[in-house]
Amino acid sequence: MRTNYPLNCWYVAALSDEVGEGLLARRLLDKHVVLYRRASGEVVALEDRCVHRAYPLSEGRLDGDRVVCGYHGFSYNPDGCLADVPSQENVPPGARVPAYPVVETAPFIWIWLGEPRAAALRPPPRVPWYLDGTGWTGSTEVLRVEANYLLLHEHYLDLTDVFVTRPEMVPPDIQQLPPLNEVEISERSVAYTRVTQPSRLAPWESAITGLPEETVAVRREEGTFVSPALHTQHYAIDVIDGKSYELLRIHGFTPESPGATHVFLQLARNYDSAEDSITEYLRIMFHEWAIRNATILETIQRRLDEPGGRRRDINVKADRAAIRARRIAMDMVDDETSRFN
Amino acid sequence: MRTNYPLNCWYVAALSDEVGEGLLARRLLDKHVVLYRRASGEVVALEDRCVHRAYPLSEGRLDGDRVVCGYHGFSYNPDGCLADVPSQENVPPGARVPAYPVVETAPFIWIWLGEPRAAALRPPPRVPWYLDGTGWTGSTEVLRVEANYLLLHEHYLDLTDVFVTRPEMVPPDIQQLPPLNEVEISERSVAYTRVTQPSRLAPWESAITGLPEETVAVRREEGTFVSPALHTQHYAIDVIDGKSYELLRIHGFTPESPGATHVFLQLARNYDSAEDSITEYLRIMFHEWAIRNATILETIQRRLDEPGGRRRDINVKADRAAIRARRIAMDMVDDETSRFN
Amino acid sequence: MRTNYPLNCWYVAALSDEVGEGLLARRLLDKHVVLYRRASGEVVALEDRCVHRAYPLSEGRLDGDRVVCGYHGFSYNPDGCLADVPSQENVPPGARVPAYPVVETAPFIWIWLGEPRAAALRPPPRVPWYLDGTGWTGSTEVLRVEANYLLLHEHYLDLTDVFVTRPEMVPPDIQQLPPLNEVEISERSVAYTRVTQPSRLAPWESAITGLPEETVAVRREEGTFVSPALHTQHYAIDVIDGKSYELLRIHGFTPESPGATHVFLQLARNYDSAEDSITEYLRIMFHEWAIRNATILETIQRRLDEPGGRRRDINVKADRAAIRARRIAMDMVDDETSRFN
């Protein structure tokens, strides 16, 4: 499959709590990476391959801030430089594995796998609305989906499938979603908004707000393709003459390879932060939804991967944001290809 | 693997009783097909892929005579035309999936996956001897064999392997089969006949006729390559100065892909039609035989698929009908390639 | 993967006791071979593919010294000539399968799969030290490792990994192995020797000699790349002012394909030959070690097989023998390619 993700982009490598005391192996943009923390807590990301015989460093062990290969014991400093070869006194000069820039903004650990000098020019994207210490609370999850990352972006930028795949989630007085109000935020991102007509609450909305199902509210929905690495969805239940209940679903989409994607999911809400039962309700509901979506996208990916499977689709109006997002990603890829090759 | 099956040919898509109230997904000639019945009972065959995002229609549901995609709810008429897009009022003009001509002649549902205009020119093949309502009775079965369809044709056009693979089926006074009397019926089919010398009955022949094993009979065997889609075998036990017991084994061979074949097996006999125990005896016996043959052919296919595995075989006299059948099929393929490409 | 093993070389096809009364199928240098014994006990090796329809002869049966194909009953003499076709009186003239030269030197059965006329020019390699009837005793084992055969050679020609992978095997007073004394024996083989400083015994050395762990000894180690097919390792525990305990680990490495290797392991010692408990102790210890090594090499092979995985390694001093062995093997391959292609 042709690579369709840009390299010069910050991607989520892991959730903060995935990198603990040991070594975490993860394949990101078709590269093998090993992640660990120094004694100081700072995250290190190195190519997961000993320079000697290609054995994965993640099969070895940590010795202080160094990684020790599990085959012949070669050890590496956090900057990737080979520091010790046990069978001899000297170290071959200049021997090293690539070290990748990393920025931790909990709950995400961001990595830069592109041209090293370009990393400092752009910071990892920030999630709209969501800022630490402003009262948002929620849960996180990691999934691996055997589908290209753009299928995931496209899926989450057009939620009209919910009437078919999860009809029980649609508020009872809504028969059809109003059309998208697409807003291009910049040349590298795309967002849509949608405000629904007033409706009583769906059972899940009643459960997470504690309001009776007869309560009438409008919903404001905003989906954003922040970058090829990040999708956010903001969903506000605005009770008529009442309070506003806001939910955030933040998706880090990181290609493992052209055919598989790591999904780093963060759920958050801005109310009743002490109510663990609401956190748990949302966690289970969105987990089940994510699994259902993954199954659909994996089925589509298998079909696209068959000989002759990559035919032209027909698009409809609801696909406008998705099409724009794909174009942005492909432009970034073309841009890299012409600049670096 | 190079495609070695003609497209312009009626193939069996399913047994009649496989298409019931729901949607049946089947891969035929490397195409994904979804089969279902209209309320009237008529069978519909569509390409199993929504025009929107390539999701299989067979993962959706029926709504009257329409198929509704399980992703965004696009629905299709039995002629393949897109009839509804729930997220908007209009339907993109001209959007449709291919619909394939289908003819049901129980117990087989035939499909035409080639050039659409050519379908009407030729009807599906008719099975010699076997006509509805003339007293034949029996059973059916569907198997999937991971071998090219021509390996199956060749196997069933030369039954001399039975001395090695199923010696217990050979009548006790027969040490060697008489040579084939090959008869070319037309330029597109081939048949052989063989009449054995008189022999007492094999145990299975005794079981299915109710005659003692000392009974002496000759066997008339006729194997026919009716088309690339159909093989028939007629086996008559003619008791000396007695009755004739006739069996039919009808094989629909439909390539799923170049490396796998759907086998639609129909067994029939023209006597004791009310005796279910004979039906069951024959069903089990031929099922076990079909499984044994499938195992052999799958082993051969795996060897042929290895690099360098496709070497020239040595042929012997018993292969005459098989070689002729392969040549007919390859001529049909060449003919199509030169006409349509 | 490019083939990197010479064809004109004697390889181990099987252990003597693997070829008993039946047919043994084995893939060697990417060829399918069937092995069996004549009534006289002599081993026969034929291509494992009937000339008629490519069915493996190993799926058939023996009839005296002949192999009978399990499909249509074609039978072959030990020289590979087709001897009988049951469905006709004559045999197609000249029909045969390749027969391969075989030499049995227990516990190994050697095979020559290269240019037939060249087989007689060179005998199979002889194992240094090890000669029948000179008091060596031990055990044998067959393993299949999913790694290229050169990864195995290289692994066993540099044992400095033992400090990392099996530290409990290192004698307690040895912190670092002395450097290799490499000795090139001929243009087609390479050997290294190493003598350690005196040390007390490791627990396993104490167990297999019956000596207390306080006993002080030096170790003489010699590793030899005898040919691309054979690696030997000699390990002597020379007790200071005492006896010498010698161990041999003999590895037949036979490529099944470029990505997998049959390992024929023979362990031997030259003392206490009646002590079965020592034989068993060594068998289990080296079995576990071989499995651990196989796991490492299979991990490396999977990495090398990925797109872009075959990058240049950095070598260190301990790799000298391994690098030399690889060069010998590649020179033999290049030599064949230019001579025969």
pLDDT tens per residue across span B221-262: 999 999 999 999 999 999 999 999 999 999 999 999 999 999
- Does the CB of A61 have a partner CB in chain C at under 8 Å? no
β partners of residue B2: none
pLDDT at residue B95 above 90?
yes
Structure tokens at C67: 């192999």
Grade residue A339 by pLDDT with cuts at 50, 70 and 90. low
Distance from CA of A322 to the nearest CA of B (A): 12
What would the mean pLDDT of C231-251 be, rounded to a whole number? 95
Are residues B68 and A313, on separate chains, in Cβ contact within 8 Å?
no
- Does the CB of B62 have a partner CB in chain A at under 8 Å? no
- Does the CB of C292 have a partner CB in chain A at under 8 Å? no
Separation in Å, CA B252 to CA B65, B119, B134, B267, C190: 28, 18, 21, 12, 62
Question: Is the CB of residue B35 less than 8 Å from the CB of residue B13?
Answer: yes
β partners of residue B216: B200
- Does the CB of C161 have a partner CB in chain A at under 8 Å? yes
Q: What is the pLDDT of residue A128?
A: 57
Chains contacting A (3 or more CB pairs within 8 Å): B, C
Question: Is the CB of residue B267 less than 8 Å from the CB of residue B139?
Answer: yes
- Does the CB of C53 have a partner CB in chain B at under 8 Å? yes
pLDDT tens per residue across span C108-130: 999 999 998 888 788 898 775 56
Tell me which of B71, B74, B97 to substitute to probe the interface with A (most A C-beta atoms closer than 10 Å). Answer: B71
Chains contacting C (3 or more CB pairs within 8 Å): A, B
- Does the CB of B165 have a partner CB in chain C at under 8 Å? yes
Tell me which of C314, C317, C319, C326 to substitute to probe the interface with A (most A C-beta atoms closer than 10 Å). Answer: C314
Grade residue C178 by pLDDT with cuts at 50, 70 and 90. confident
pLDDT tens per residue across span B276-328: 999 999 999 999 999 999 999 999 999 999 988 888 889 999 898 999 999 99
Q: What is the pLDDT of residue B120?
A: 77
Residue length, chain B? 341
* Alpha-carbon gap, residue A17 to A140, rounded angstroms: 10
* Alpha-carbon gap, residue A112 to A97, rounded angstroms: 15
Are residues A316 and B32, on separate chains, in Cβ contact within 8 Å?
no
Tell me which of A148, A154, A161 to substitute to probe the interface with B (most B C-beta atoms closer than 10 Å). Answer: A161
- Does the CB of B176 have a partner CB in chain C at under 8 Å? yes
Q: What is the pLDDT of residue A76?
A: 98
Collect all residues of chain A within an 8 Å Cβ-Cβ radius of residue B57. Answer: none
- Does the CB of B174 have a partner CB in chain C at under 8 Å? no
pLDDT tens per residue across span B125-173: 877 556 555 788 999 999 999 999 999 999 999 888 999 999 999 999 9
Question: Is the CB of residue C125 less than 8 Å from the CB of residue C254?
Answer: no
* Alpha-carbon gap, residue B330 to A232, rounded angstroms: 56
Tell me which of B151, B152, B159, B161 to substitute to probe the interface with C (most C C-beta atoms closer than 10 Å). Answer: B161
Size of interface B-C (CB pairs under 8 A): 62
pLDDT at residue B100 above 70?
yes
- Residue A215 is given by DSSP the state -
Distance from CA of B241 to the nearest CA of A (A): 60
- Does the CB of A296 have a partner CB in chain B at under 8 Å? yes
What would the mean pLDDT of B62-70 be, rounded to a whole number? 98
CB burial readout B7-43, b (16+ within 10 A) else e: bbbbbbbbbeeebeeebbebbbbbbbbbbbbeeeeeb
What would the mean pLDDT of C331-337 be, rounded to a whole number? 91
Distance from CA of A309 to the nearest CA of C (A): 23
